[in-house]
Amino acid sequence: MAALFRETGADARVSEDIAVDLWRKFLFLTTLAAACGLARASIGPVRDAPQGGLLLQRAAREIAAVARARGVALAAGEEEQVLERMAALPAGMKPSFLLDLERGGPNELDVLSGAVSRYGRECGVPTPIHDTAVAAFSASVAARRS
């Protein structure tokens, strides 16, 4: 199947371990969403802020710890690779989660930081960054409704 996609010019490969690949993507997207959402800023100001790098690092580590506790074989150093990718992003890049927050419409909180928080509780892994994101974003939505 991957060959068919490559014939059309798409970059395609067959996954060796789909669970690892999905968690790798989840690690990247959810770290970016939580940090940029909490800051209400694109990735550049988050990276440059005092403690911004620490926020990204802790958010990524929580997700990786949850994945590993759930039996996902993330490679050692996966978090650092994700952080390196984020360091290379254009400063003005905003994740879709932040764009949703800015528009005030529906967002993916439940399937991003919400999932990290739930899974963390289920497997006994502390997730204070993602718990904070869930509380803050939920309060923000509730305040707009009242």
Q: Is 2 part of a structural domain of the chain?
A: no
Taking only the tens place, the pLDDT of each residue in 41-86 is 999 999 999 999 999 999 999 999 999 999 999 999 999 999 999 9
Beta strands in 33-120 (DSSP E): none
The structure's pTM equals 0.88
- Provide the number of structural domains found in the chain: 1
- Give me 122's structure tokens: 């289920």
Q: Is 74 part of a structural domain of the chain?
A: yes
Domain containing residue 50: CATH number: 1.10.1040.10
Per the structure, the complete domain to which residue 93 belongs is given by 33-145
pLDDT score for 49: 97
Please tell me the distance from the alpha carbon of residue 109 to that of residue 114, in angstroms, as a whole number: 6
Distances (CA, A) of 54 to 37, 41, 46, 129: 15, 16, 10, 11
